[in-house]
């Protein structure tokens, strides 16, 4: 059996790839020490979280793919104004990272459920990514607008709860899908 490994790194937010990064984990929270980037003096914001979604996949045979998709935090591009750092602002930036993970999981679900053709699978994968990228960017903008960049505490709490529940639902649905694949004998 020939296995082909294709690694694709695509950004969901603006940033150049960095060696210093944190892979999203539900057990690890961002700290201000993780924001190593140079402060953007022209920005009106007090901090910026640069998150990316990475994916790679293996092709085992025609139509049989295995995808790995995850969110990464770029330490060297993410920045904060030290005199503006607060627990509330850090929690707001953490949720930007959590939203990246939410869309990484949504993309994984899309990748896993799609039927690919041998001649156009690469284009199909890129199209799926681009569709999720637009949805992701829209949600990030909506989050910042509704929370007023963490200043609206009631809206921030609503978003915290919403993203937590969405991540939990997607994790459970992905686990069920993986168990079903194993039960049907498909390689995972």
What range defines the domain where residue 115 resides?
4-184
Mean pLDDT lowest among 12-21, 43-52, 109-118, 169-178? 12-21
Instruction: Answer yes or no: are the C-beta atoms of 10 and 55 closer than 8 Å.
Output: yes
8 A C-beta contact, residue 27 and residue 19:
no
Please provide residue 8's backbone torsions phi and psi, each rounded to the nearest 5 degrees. Answer: -125, 130
28: helix, strand or coil? coil
Out of 102-111, 113-122, 132-141, least confident range? 113-122
Q: Would you say residue 15 has pLDDT above 60? A: no
Q: Is the pLDDT of residue 187 over 80?
A: no
Average pLDDT over residues 126-135: 95
How many Å apart are CA 113 and CA 21, to the nearest integer? 29
For 47-154, where are the E strands, in sequence order?
Answer: 47-48, 51-61, 64-74, 79-80
Average pLDDT over residues 138-164: 97
* pLDDT band with cut points at 50, 70 and 90 for residue 185: low
**Cβ(22)–Cβ(34) below 8 Å:** yes
pTM: 0.84
Q: Which one has a higher pLDDT value, 115 or 185?
A: 115
> What is d(CA 15, CA 50) in angstroms, rounded to the nearest whole number?
6
Is the predicted pLDDT of residue 71 greater than 60, yes or no? Answer: yes
Q: Domain total for the chain?
A: 1
């Amino acid at each position: 059996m020939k296995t082909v490994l294709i690694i694709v790194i695509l950004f969901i937010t603006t940033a150049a790839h960095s060696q210093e990064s944190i892979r999203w984990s539900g057990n690890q929270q961002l700290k201000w020490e993780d924001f190593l980037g140079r402060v953007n003096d022209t920005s009106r914001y007090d901090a910026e979280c640069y998150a990316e979604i990475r994916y790679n996949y293996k092709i085992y045979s025609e139509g049989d793919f295995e995808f790995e998709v995850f969110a990464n935090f770029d330490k060297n591009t993410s920045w904060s104004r030290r005199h503006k750092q607060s627990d509330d602002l850090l929690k707001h930036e953490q949720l930007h990272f959590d939203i990246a993970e939410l869309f990484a999981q949504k993309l994984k679900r899309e990748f896993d459920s799609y039927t690919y053709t041998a001649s156009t699978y690469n284009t199909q994968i890129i199209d799926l990514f681009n569709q999720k990228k637009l949805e992701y960017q829209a949600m990030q903008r909506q989050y910042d607008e509704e929370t007023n960049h963490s200043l609206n505490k009631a809206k921030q709490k609503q978003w915290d709860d919403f993203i937590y529940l969405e991540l939990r639902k997607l994790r459970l649905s992905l686990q069920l899908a993986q168990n079903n694949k194993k039960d049907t004998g498909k390689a995972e």
